[in-house]
Structure 1
Amino acid sequence: MNGPADLGGKHGFGPVTPEVDEPVFHADWERTAFALTLAMGAGGYWSLDRSRYMRETLPHTTYYSSTYYEIWFKALERLLDDAGISSGETAPKRVLAADEVRPTMGRGGPVSRPGPAPRFAVGDRVKVKPMRPATHTRAPAYLRGHTGTIVMIHGCHVFPDTNAHGKGENPAPLYNVAFPAADLWGPDTTAADIHADLFEPYLDPA
C-alpha cells in the first residue's frame, strides 16, 4: 500500500520542524480522541494493524489537511463502521474501566510469537522486494528495490500485512537491516546508515 503516510524520500513537503517543548495534547478534544481510540481498541474489535491500516488509507487530501489526532479520530469513525458498532450490529465485547487504563498501557501489546526459523543470518546481504501492494504493508516505499545488510534478528512477530485484514497473525522473522544512506538519498546526504525493521517476506537474497 502506498498511502499518504509513506512520505520517506518524497519531495515537496518541506523540512521537519519539531515543536519546542511540545505538549502531549494541544487541546482537550485531542485527549478525548486518544482515550476513545484506546478504549475501543482494548475492546477487541480490531487489531493494531487494522487500526493503522484505517489511518493510512484515509484520502490523501484528508490525511494531509488533518492534525495528528484528527487522523486518529477520523480513522476511529471508519473502524466503528467497519466493525458494525456504529449501526448497532455488533454487541460490546469488553469495556475498559478507568482503573484498568494504566495497567493496560503498562502491559502494552506484545506481538512476538513462536514461528519459523529465520532464513537469513546477521551479515547476510538482502534486497527489499520491489513490491507495490494494494493492501497494508510495513515495508517503506523508499527501501523497496534497495540492498542492505542484516545486523540483528528480532525473532518472530505478527505479520501486519495479513493481520490488518483478518487473515491471521502468520508470525514471520523480523530483521533489522542497515542501508547506506547515500544509496537511498544520494551523495549529498549527511547521514551514514539507515536502519529499518523488515519482515522476512519483504526480503530476497541480494
Structure 2
Amino acid sequence: MSRVHDMGGRFGDGAVVPEPETEVFHADWHPRALAVTLACGSLGQWNIDASRHARERLAPKDYASFSYYEKWMAALADMLVDKGVLTPDELAGGRAVGPSPLADRKLTRGAVAGVLARGGPADRPAQIDVAFAAGDAVRTRRHAHNVFVDGGHTRLPDYAAGATGRIVRMHGHHVLPDAAAHGLGDRPEPLYAVAFPASELWARPEHPRDEVVLDLWQSYLEPAT
C-alpha cells in the first residue's frame, strides 16, 4: 500500500485533528452513501477487500481532493461498471435499462437490521500452522507490496515495512486481503496484533517510547534475529 492512500508518517499533510465522537455524519447525503454501498455489497459481486482496493485505485488527484464518502461513491461507481452490474450509460443516466439478473439479491428494508447484526466474518478454518506466539520478536517484509499481484492490495503499510516489533496476541485465522481483493480465494492465515515502538517507525518521533499496534498477517512477518 505504497500509493497515495498510504499516508502514515508522510510529511506535509498537517496535524490529525480528532472529531467529536457524537458527529457520525457531516452531511445529509453521507448516510445515503453508506446505505447504497452496503446495499450494492449485498449483490455479492465483490468483497470488502476488493472495495478497499477500488478506493485505493482512484486517481491520485481525486483521492487527494475527495471527501471520505466521495471516495466511497467514486469507487462504488467503478466497481458497478467493472463487474457489469451497470453500464456507463446507465450510471450516467441514473436509470437501469431493463431488468437486472441480480434483482433477487437486492437488500430489502426488512432485512437490513439482520444483515448489519451478522456482519461479514473474516475468520476461517486453519490452513497453515501458527508460526509466532505472544512476545516473539518479528520483522515485517522489507517492501510493502502484494506478492500475488503487482500493485495489488495489501494491509501492510509502507511506513512499517522492514520494521521490528513484537507479537501482542493472535486473532485467529483470517482471510488474506492480498488474495481476496483480487479473486484469488480466501487463503486464510494467522493474523497477529504486532506492537512497534515509535522509534522503529519514525526517524524523529515526538514520543519515542509510544507504540503503534498493527494487525498483520503471517506472510508479512519473519522472525527478528
TM-score range, shorter chain: over 0.9
1:120-170 CA-to-partner distances (Å, cap 9, x unmatched) read 122211110012421100001110001111110111000000000000000
TM value normalised by structure 1: 0.94
TM-score of the superposition, structure 2-length normalised? 0.86
Gaps in structure 2 of 5+ consecutive residues: 88-96, 146-150
2:147 is equivalent to residue 130 of structure 1: no
Task: Determine if contact 2:144/2:156 at 8 Å carries over to the other structure.
Answer: no
Q: How does 1:77-92 map to 2 (within 5 A)?
A: 77-87=77-87, 91-92=101-102
Q: Is the 8 A contact 1:182 1:189 kept in 2?
A: no
Distance 1:124 1:150 in 2: 5
CA contact (8 A) 1:2 1:132 kept: yes
Aligned to 1:172: 189
- The separation in 2 between residues aligned to 1:69 and 1:127, in whole angstroms, is 35
Q: Which residue of 2 aligns with 1:181?
A: 198
Of the candidates 191, 194, 200, which is equivalent to residue 212 of structure 2?
A: 194
The question of whether the paired residues in 1 share the 8 Å contact of 2:176 and 2:187 is answered with: yes
CA–CA separation in structure 2 for the residues paired with 1:68 and 1:174? 27
User: Counterpart of 1:28 in 2: which secondary structure?
Assistant: coil
Measured after TM superposition, the shift of residue 5 of structure 1 is 1.7
Structure 1 unaligned spans of 5+: none
Q: Is the 8 A contact 1:4 1:57 kept in 2?
A: no
Residue type matched to 2:188 in 1?
Answer: P
Across the aligned residues of Structure 1 and Structure 2, the Cα RMSD in angstroms comes to: 1.8
Deviates more, 1:106-115 or 1:88-97: 88-97
Q: State which of 156, 160, 163 in structure 1 corresponds to 2:180.
A: 163
Q: 1:90 to 1:6 in 2, by over 3 A?
A: farther
User: Which shows bigger deviation, 60-69 or 93-102?
Assistant: 93-102
- Partner of 1:138, secondary structure, is coil
Give the length in aligned residue pairs. 206
**CA–CA distance in 2 between the matches of 1:49 and 1:62?**
20
Q: Quote the residue 2:111 is aligned against.
A: 100
Counterpart Cα distance in 1 of 2:155 and 2:101:
31
How far does residue 43 in structure 1 lie from its aligned partner after superposition? 1.5
Give percent identity, aligned residues only.
44
* d(CA) in 1 for partners of 2:118, 2:205: 43
